[in-house]
Structure 1
């Protein structure tokens, strides 16, 4: 497969990243608030993207070499990628282990989700500039970490992580009787200190998304949020982000 990008530090001004989000609380839910993000120090040297379709053929005596197949549906995409982490130039840095732990947590149940009807590991979204083909909501099937360099105290300073992501299909807008409505939402109860900007940053990683929250809740004055008010927070795919 041809290489995409480069590990060279100056090969690209746009860095790939993996955003890690809270899982939804229902089957119709979209991405929840951002838990963390792994910024790639070096862009991947290659990405392996797989898409497949399912076909079915019923035996029939009318065909000498088998009946024509019938398309029965598309399968979620899968993406395999490598994350290279290196802090060897910064003695005492613990960023490598923290990032590896964050990636490994994507295969463990997100603790706050235990109190919901759908305990789940976090969901993720890989992004790399304008490469839209690989930018989809996904869950992490596997993470393998290989540590290749350590400090005198045994702290890992270099590691390579191989990830396998599987696309999470989201409902297409307008395919249900409530066509035109937001495809998925979360509910947040306002607490002291909350602002629309802070909620947008927490949910989408972008404070300018406050306008979407305001519109979804019919808020005319974004500076006045009453404590205890329940706000609908549109899923990230409804924000245009």
Structure 2
């Protein structure tokens, strides 16, 4: 079974989870709010519900419960402290990125096979430890993580691809659709190492959200297993190849 991974959008770093989540909950909060006390009056006697105001937008939250255990690490140099396995996930909740002069957590993607590819930020993280060793180091961790979905950074993806075209000298004639794309090793597109299939979809189909369509068309089961130099054919779109 393919493991859940978090991919840092800016650097392309992939953080694999030791096991797939035990539970996975998706929650949607609509863009409404209740007026504060004294802000407006209730009209009519016997009214059952408070009035609400529609603000637009909303928020989508993904809640994951995961387990990490040093006994499950298949390595001769397996850590004795489970916190060495979860430290990178904690760092995703720190304000290590910057936007419009303000610090913020880095943009990450929750990727699970071809079923989930959700951009967001880690809004909350909690960890419970057990299986303590003689030195007090915990061997097992029960982690709960909240990811808040954000808009797909389409413009950023397009800029990254344009930069690759300028660097490699490759490209597509104006007004035509590409018939194939080639995976790169630095997480971008064009000729060169392991490519991110969402950026390949941006090049080929005009949107990173269509990565599943490109993967299914080429029989790619693991979006992280696109080998360097592999050429992927582009499905027909709007009558064009």
The answer on whether the counterparts of 1:199 and 1:210 sit within 8 Å (CA) in structure 2 is no
Are the equivalent residues in 2 in contact too, given 1:78–1:166 (CA < 8 A)?
yes
Report the Cα distance in structure 2 between the residues aligned to 1:144 and 1:83, rounded to whole angstroms.
Answer: 11
Structure 1 residue aligned with 2:171? none
The 5 Å alignment of 1:143-182 reads 143-170=125-152
Q: RMSD of aligned C-alpha atoms?
A: 4.5
Residues 184-199 of structure 1: pairs in structure 2 closer than 5 A? 184-186=158-160, 197-199=184-186
Residue of structure 2 aligned with 1:100, choices 64, 82, 86: 86
> Contact between 2:200 and 2:208, CA under 8 Å: does it hold in 1?
no
The structural deviation recorded for 1:126 is 1.8
Question: Secondary structure of the residue that 1:163 maps to in structure 2?
Answer: strand
The answer to whether the 8 A contact 2:23-2:64 is kept is yes
> Which of residues 65, 68, 73 is equivalent to 2:56?
73
- Residues 1:236 and 1:116: Cα distance change in structure 2 (over 3 Å): farther
- Structure scoring higher RCO (CA < 8 A, sep ≥ 6) equals 1
Pick from 104, 107, 129: which aligns with 2:113? 129
- The count of corresponding residues between Structure 1 and Structure 2 is 184
Distance 2:196 2:7 in 1: 20
Whole-angstrom CA distance in 2 between matches of 1:61 and 1:97: 52
Contact 1:197 1:209 in 2 (8 A): no
In structure 2, stretches of 5+ residues that fail to align are 168-182, 213-222, 224-241
Give, in angstroms, the shift of residue 114 of structure 1: 5.8
2:7 pairs with 1:20: yes
Separation in structure 2 between the aligned mates of residue 87 and residue 156 of structure 1, nearest angstrom: 9
Query: 1:70 and 1:121, CA in 2 relative to 1: closer, same or farther beyond 3 A?
Result: closer
Per-residue deviation at 1:183?
6.4
Q: 2:31 aligns with which of 43, 54, 61?
A: 54
Q: Helix, strand or coil: the match of 2:126?
A: strand
